[in-house]
Amino acid sequence: MQHFPALVVILPLCGAALSLALTKIHIHLGRNVIFLSLAASFCMSIMQLRNVVLNGPMEYRFGGYALPYSIEFRIDAVGGVVVSMVALMGLITAFYCISGEVRTDKIKVGGAYSVVALFVAGMLGTASSADAFNMYVFLEITALAAYCLIALGGNRGMIAAFRYLLVGTIAATFYLMGVGILYAVTGTLNLQDMSVIIHQGGKDEAVLVALCLLIAGLGVKSALFPFHGWQPSAHTHEERGSAALIAGVMVKIPVFMLFRYIYFVFGMDYKYMKQVLIILGVFVGIGMMYGSIRAMGQTNMKKLLAYSSITQTSYFMLGIVIGAPVALAGSLLHFIGDAFIKGGLFYCAGAIKYKFGTININNFGMIYKKMPVTATLIVSGALSMIGIPPTVGFFSKWYIAIGAIQTGKYIFLVLLIISSLLNAVYFFKLIEKVFMENDKEMEDIRPVKKGELPWSMLIPMTICIAVIFLLGFFNVPLINIVLPLFEGVGL
Amino acid sequence: MTGIEQFLADKGIYFLTFFLLSLGIYGIITCKNYMKKLIGMNIMQVSAIIFFLSLGQKKGATIPVLLEGLTNSDAYNNPLTHALMLTAIVVSLGTTGVGLALLTRIKEKFGSVEEEEIIRRQDKL
Amino acid sequence: MMNIFAIELRPLYAILVPFIAAGLVYVLGEHINRNAREAITIVAAILMIIIVYSMLPHVLAGEEIKIRLFSIVRGISFSIGVDPAGMLFACVASTLWLPTSIYSIGYMRGNNEKNQTGYYAAFAVCLTATMGICFATNLVTFFMFFEILTVATYPLVTHHRDDEGKKSGRKYLAYTLISGQIFFAGMVVVYVVSGSLDFVPGGYITEKMLPEPWALLVFFMLVGAGIVKAGVMPLHSWLPAAMVAPTPVSALLHAVAVVKAGAFCTLRVVLYIFGPTLAKSCHGANILAGMAVATILISSLIAMNKDNLKERLAFSTIGQLSYIILGICILTPLSTAGALYHIVAHAFMKITLFMVAGAIYVTTHKKNISEMLGIGKRMPVTMGAFACTSFALAGFPVFAGFVSKANIIMGAISQGKIFFAATLVASALLAIVYLMPVVSISFRKNNIHPEFAEKGEAAPAMLIPLIFTALIAIILGIAPNAGLHLFDLALMAGNSIFQPLM
Amino acid sequence: MPTLVLEAILLLALIIITMAVIFNRDLLIVIITYCAFSFIAMFLYIVMGAPDVAFTEAVIGVISTIYFIITLKKIDRRCK
Amino acid sequence: MMRKVIGILLIVLGLGYVFVSFDFLPAIGDSSAPAHKHVSDYYIENALKDTNSPNLVTAVLADYRGFDTLLETTVMFSAGVCVVMILGSKSPLRKRYLVPKEILKGKPYGGIPAYKTVNKDVMTTLIEILILLYAIYVLLHGEVGPGGGFQAGALIALAYIVNVMVAPDIKPLFKFTKINAVAAAGIGVFIYAFTGLLTMFAGGAFLEYGKLPFPIPENDLHPVGIMMIETGVAIGVMATIITILIAIIERVRFDDDRN
């Protein structure tokens, strides 16, 4: 039982490593092994979460040495929830990729799934590792797999991938420099140990420089407002199958890392933390407005979703900037919910492109008649983005708003309201195009015998719809798991 | 000599390393040719490696391979930074490999590796 | 657990019935034939009426019915319960659902509109939301159903998928969503300041919780959503624009669901959260009353020169709704009872007028009043009902309108606010000015339109509900406590609010 | 010659080589300069007392230079 | 030209200001800096006792922070897979953007490069064998002197590169197709991960070599463990470098047409 934190990450890794060798034997053997490993890792992450909830955070030391001398995985309530969400999204996206398979060439089949499996393993590791340098290597694996997935998305994807490669490496080097300075000043790489030494005080300047480098590095990776240059083009041209994973989850993991650094390593009582959070607050404020305004004028659905995901990252950062425990819980709920909403909407864009070959909003004719499941997912995703009660969007806004008012930062409440209204503008434009437009008679590229889409696409979509509403109704148990962790943290 | 050495030890080496890092980034941003951007990226990663190794230096210490007589820890350089930097070098090779593969496909598809021509032809496709 | 038919669970059943009906209609709509689909709606309507009426005796006996289901937000639970005001609104909504659905069957078949399944499903979801609004006992549940109502009425308003429908849909959404989000902000402030969001008759926010300038700001943030939905003057322009929807929809919007929900929201906020004392001390009530008075007068003036019958009725609704808001803002038991009773009276009167307008449109395809010369000859029964309800609307003594107006006027006089009483009387006269020309044109004797010469009544499916609601309007006028003791409910609610202050 | 001064000199050499890379026109010359860069970096690691890292840097420097030269075959040598 | 120089001067000034005002990093040489005190002196003192491999870097690399090296090999493997996936399908000629003929006219065709000085075919076989011998030495000598998995893998790949680049026409020592190379890289990574899983099944934590189920005495289980992962790393790195080489060469025929 205590091996779960390691097995959750190792299994997809071994699956990816073996998939190419197994594909030589039979074309689908590699793919099935990867499905098996992802499913196993998802079940283990659920059991691990249950274990964490029942009897406290789990620690796993690689190599069996004492704590500061070996690499350590630390899964607490927040980490457990994030890991199981990433595992679920990875499993669903792997299913979704079946539709995009090229059956002819053996390398293409095995390789595609092994890249997705590496991508999921990287993100799982980043979310559960508690060692600064280990996170860097996991970030590199995620980034490399992401470059490949974006590059597979066609010719424009190549340029987007190259641009993201350059920007991503600069960000990774900044992160490495930050970790270097922290190591130079504290002597350890383990986050737990590092925070103990930093709290002994006396090293404020070096920690400030390291914090700035970390924020710069992780900000670029997660397309926070001023560093978001690479994101719209990357999300628009990425590979249809795994778009949901990249836009939905990968963009958020660095923000989760930043959250762990700010709250569990540096702590709120650190001298310069107030000024840093104010600056971050300014970035978040502009980011929320900018993303929505740019998204209004788009006609390409994926570009629209890319710009709206800049807003969503700023929502997640909002919780961190506000600092109240309730706001943190709200932003975590938003993190989980938005992964499924954003992922779901990208599934829809991929499905429409798969069936009709177009993602230009203007010719979404009678989509709701021909593709009812996709239309329902678009509507529920849109409602959740705007924050209509039964969906999860409303409840995360609720908690963030309470946090904002408790700490007296009314400006963020106003920003929250304005940005959800801006969201409403372009999402209802999308709904209008899907429901109200008269038929554009687009011919059906890949006719499917029964139903609108192959089952491998329908299952992920229905799961996304279910999670959006279930998280909405049953958010209280999730919040109760997470809130005690934030108690000691708030302002 | 010790005066310069003391200055170098405190600020000089760090200043040069960060200068090399910013030069790498400057190269990535200003050079128009994608190949040069990749080389700039490599230089940036080498500068990160130099920074880590300079952290791990000790005055008058030998290479981190154990000798019979010497047991106290001040006699050897810091092995942890060396182990970390092996990973960083391998990562830089991986990134360069992927970058070059992308470069080949871009050259094949867009006919050139210069940024302006690619942007001009990008809208045509 | 209490047995299945326990009194606490009935409000929940009342909410679930239309929701299940909506699901069935939407899923099975395409596959089963039309009559079966309509049958689902009618059965659901009858079932709901039974459930709601079965709760009435308990409420009249003054029992406290409340059930906390599950905690929807940390610290607040999804709780449903019945209190006199909620019961009143629920009775009106459930009783009117049956005639409206029968009427819309006749209208849809008569006009053979397209995508009717979507229409009926959205209709049922609207009723779910309305029931939820009646039975919500804390602000979060209330807000949840309030937003569902906004979203559910959007497909109805844009039922004709043409450009005009889309434009009015956008305007409707703009108004309601913006006010909804501001309501959300206000709600959060109230929660953080006061710690709980449950409705307490007589309000629970005290002066020290919300200092002077903030109280007014939060008051208008919360009341804003109610005002927008109720169509008070500065924020009313979505209502005439929503006239582009088919008539049963505008009947639903302007008589049963949306508009009344707005008034109900104002009632809940002013009397159940802020409470009369704070409303008066932060003089939010006076400003609101002033806005209501302005709306009554201006809307009646505009209604006069509107040629399109539905436009004229829309502006008259705006005027009538401001009666309710005025009644609330006078903050006396009598005027609150009058306002609540006006919700009932106005619902029945207005729905009849809209049904008449729809019937005329279906049978003679006439929209403007100037074209209806002597229509009474052709459709005597419809126009007769129109005449009676217009008298009732104007507040003639024997009809329902008079009872509620009288109470509000008595409340105003007891408070010494002669100005409000004067406006109410003046508005009665104005109502006559803009309704009587329609009656006189339709019943004139000389140079009748050749088309209206022979007798050609509207289809029975439209006529029966028309007559049914007109009769109720008259009966409620004569004996306010007939059948459902609605007036007692109104009085009970009024007293319960002002009881601690006495 | 104390190590730190040697390190500083080698670092200065690296910086000059980077300048050369940035300002040069012909790609082949840029790649050869990059090979020299990795060679001097290997020297710097030896001076800093890290033989393992120097070994790896040497090998991987050679391999990445070879990769650059192969790709150069496809890309013409002129560039701005 | 001038604009670039001004840019660089700006960088110098900026960094100069930061370094003058801040004095946050410890001096380089002193051995009492916090970096050496907390964790690394533990490594130095009982590396021999825990892992009995005198080369501290290999001890830290393979044993204390063994998981990092697994992830490092995975990074190499994922780079190899990415390159294969990107350069997988050769796009049809008509879709490619062909440089118009008149631009090419200006470039003279230099013919096949001829190294007349020495007979390269004989030389390559000699050099290859030397490189391979040295690679085996480096691999097996990993614990004692500088060297280890990466360097050995890279050296073997170098031998393959020498063969392919210098004398493409003679029969190469070992022939790798693209799919085999990537599969080999995968197997290398799996060997590494399998050792970890082995220790896990035998009761210890992941990569705890003390718990390896082999019947040899406890204190030299560690070198066996390190040797297993070193071979895994060597195979992984060698196969990936060769994959990337083959993939790029496939798209760029060495004695290719003018394009």
pLDDT tens-digit readout, C20-71: 888 888 888 777 777 888 888 888 888 888 888 888 888 777 777 777 777 8
The SS3 of residue C438 is helix
* Alpha carbon distance C334, B109 (integer Å): 81
Which residue type does A1 have? M
Cβ–Cβ contacts within 10 Å for residue C92, how many? 25
* Alpha carbon distance C405, C393 (integer Å): 10
Largest distance between two CA atoms of chain E? 74
- Does E178 reside within a domain? yes
- Report pLDDT for E106: 58
- Does C4 reside within a domain? no
Residue-wise burial string across C136-155, b where 16 or more C-beta atoms lie within 10 A, e elsewhere: bbbbbbbbbbbbbbbbbbbb
Cβ–Cβ contacts within 10 Å for residue C381, how many? 16
What residue ranges do the domains of chain B occupy? 2-124
The whole-number average pLDDT for the span C106-121 is 79
The SS3 of residue E26 is coil
* Alpha carbon distance C408, C326 (integer Å): 8
CB C79 within 8 A of CB C8: no
Which of A155, A172, A176 is facing B125, going by the closest CB pair?
A: A155
CB D77 within 8 A of CB B89: no
Who wins on pLDDT, A452 or E226? E226
pLDDT at C149 over 70: yes
The whole-number average pLDDT for the span A164-173 is 93
Touching partners of B (3+ C-beta pairs < 8 Å) = A, D, E
Q: Report the mean per-residue pLDDT for chain D.
A: 88
The SS3 of residue A289 is helix
* Alpha carbon distance C34, C22 (integer Å): 15
- Report pLDDT for E236: 93
Which of B56, B87, B93 is facing E35, going by the closest CB pair?
A: B56
Contacts of A283 (CB under 8 A, 6+ apart): A219, A224, A225, A226, A314, A317
* Alpha carbon distance C390, A242 (integer Å): 63
Give tens-digit pLDDT for B66-121. Answer: 888 777 777 888 888 999 999 999 999 999 999 999 998 888 888 778 888 888 87
The whole-angstrom distance between C134's CA and the closest CA on chain A is: 17
pLDDT at C418 over 70: yes
| Residue among A96, A24, A198, A139 at smallest CA distance from A464 | A96
- Does E44 reside within a domain? no
Chain D's closest residue to B65, CA to CA, is D51
Instruction: Identify from E6, E11, E52, E56 which residue to disrupt to test chain B contact, counting B C-beta atoms within 10 A and taking the largest count.
Output: E56
Largest distance between two CA atoms of chain A? 70
Is there a contact between B57 and D12 if contact means CB atoms under 8 Å apart?
A: no
pLDDT at E90 over 70: no
CB B4 within 8 A of CB D8: no
β-pairing verdict for A72-75 and A58-61: antiparallel
- Report pLDDT for A453: 79
Comparing A388-392, C456-460, E82-86, the range with the smallest average pLDDT is: C456-460
- Report pLDDT for C501: 65
- Report pLDDT for E81: 92
* A161 contacts chain B (CB < 8 A): yes
- Report pLDDT for E101: 52
What DSSP designation does C2 have?
A: -
The whole-number average pLDDT for the span C340-350 is 85
- Report pLDDT for A180: 92
CB E53 within 8 A of CB E63: yes
- Does C2 reside within a domain? no
Chain A's closest residue to B78, CA to CA, is A187
- Report pLDDT for D56: 92
Instruction: Identify from E9, E19, E39, E57 which residue to disrupt to test chain B contact, counting B C-beta atoms within 10 A and taking the largest count.
Output: E57
Comparing C22-36, C79-93, C443-457, E156-170, the range with the smallest average pLDDT is: C443-457
pLDDT at A356 over 50: yes
* Alpha carbon distance E176, E180 (integer Å): 6
- Report pLDDT for C196: 81
Percent of chain E at pLDDT above 70?
83
What residue has token string 């990993």?
A: E142
Comparing A4-13, B30-39, C234-243, E130-139, the range with the smallest average pLDDT is: C234-243
Max mean pLDDT range (C214-223, C444-453, E103-112): C214-223
The whole-number average pLDDT for the span E37-44 is 83
Which of B8, B33, B114 is facing D4, going by the closest CB pair?
A: B8
Chain D's closest residue to B100, CA to CA, is D71
Helices assigned H by DSSP within B8-78: 13-30, 34-55
CB A422 within 8 A of CB A345: no
Backbone angles phi and psi of E155, in degrees to 5: -65, -45
The whole-number average pLDDT for the span C450-462 is 72
Comparing A2-16, B43-57, C59-73, C119-133, the range with the smallest average pLDDT is: C59-73
- Report pLDDT for E258: 42
Number of domains in chain C: 1
- Report pLDDT for E254: 43
| Residue among C351, C347, C349, C345 at smallest CA distance from C390 | C349
- Report pLDDT for A9: 92
Who wins on pLDDT, E38 or A75? A75
Question: What's this model's pTM, rounded to 2 decimal places?
Answer: 0.90
Give tens-digit pLDDT for E182-206. Answer: 899 999 999 999 988 888 888 878 8
* Alpha carbon distance A458, A96 (integer Å): 8
Q: Report the mean per-residue pLDDT for chain B.
A: 86
Domain with C307, as residue range(s), is 9-498
CA B26 to chain centre: 14
Which of C72, C158, C177 is facing A424, going by the closest CB pair?
A: C177
- Does E28 reside within a domain? no
Is it the case that chain E and chain D have 3 or more CB pairs lying under 8 Å apart?
Answer: yes
Is there a contact between E161 and D70 if contact means CB atoms under 8 Å apart?
A: no
Q: CA separation (Å) from E250 to C324, D70, E244? A: 81, 10, 10
- Does E17 reside within a domain? no
- Report pLDDT for C377: 77
Comparing A37-51, C149-163, E12-26, the range with the smallest average pLDDT is: E12-26
Residue C476 C-beta-side C-alpha neighbours within 13 Å: 30
The whole-number average pLDDT for the span C443-464 is 73
Q: Report the mean per-residue pLDDT for chain C.
A: 82
What residue ranges do the domains of chain D occupy? 3-74
Q: Report the mean per-residue pLDDT for chain A.
A: 87
pLDDT band, very low/low/confident/very high, at E95 (cuts 50, 70, 90): low
Residue-wise burial string across A239-273, b where 16 or more C-beta atoms lie within 10 A, e elsewhere: bbbbbbbbbbbbbbbbbbbbbbbbbbbbeeebeeb
Total residue length of chain C? 502
Q: Report the mean per-residue pLDDT for chain E.
A: 80
- Report pLDDT for E103: 54
- Report pLDDT for A360: 83
Who wins on pLDDT, A161 or C493? A161
pLDDT at C345 over 90: no
- CATH, domain range B2-124: 1.10.287.3510
Who wins on pLDDT, E28 or E76? E76
The SS3 of residue A440 is coil
pLDDT at C368 over 90: no
* Alpha carbon distance E119, E166 (integer Å): 11
Which residue type does C284 have? G
What DSSP designation does C70 have?
A: E
pLDDT at B39 over 60: yes
* A365 contacts chain C (CB < 8 A): no
Q: CA separation (Å) from E11 to A190, A395, B36, C313? A: 33, 47, 20, 72
Number of domains in chain E: 1
- Report pLDDT for C114: 74
Who wins on pLDDT, A112 or C449? A112
Domain with E239, as residue range(s), is 67-89+118-253
Contacts of E230 (CB under 8 A, 6+ apart): E62, E139, E142, E148, E149, E152
The whole-number average pLDDT for the span E65-90 is 89
Max mean pLDDT range (A144-148, B2-6, E89-93, E199-203): A144-148
pLDDT at C336 over 80: yes
| Residue among A319, A349, A347, A353 at smallest CA distance from A333 | A319
The whole-number average pLDDT for the span E103-112 is 57
pLDDT at A126 over 90: yes
Which of B5, B63, B108 is facing D2, going by the closest CB pair?
A: B5
pLDDT band, very low/low/confident/very high, at E112 (cuts 50, 70, 90): low
Q: What is the 3-state secondary structure (H, E, C) of A2-56?
A: CCHHHHHHHHHHHHHHHHHHHHHHCCCHHHHHHHHHHHHHHHHHHHHHHHHHHHC
- Report pLDDT for B99: 94
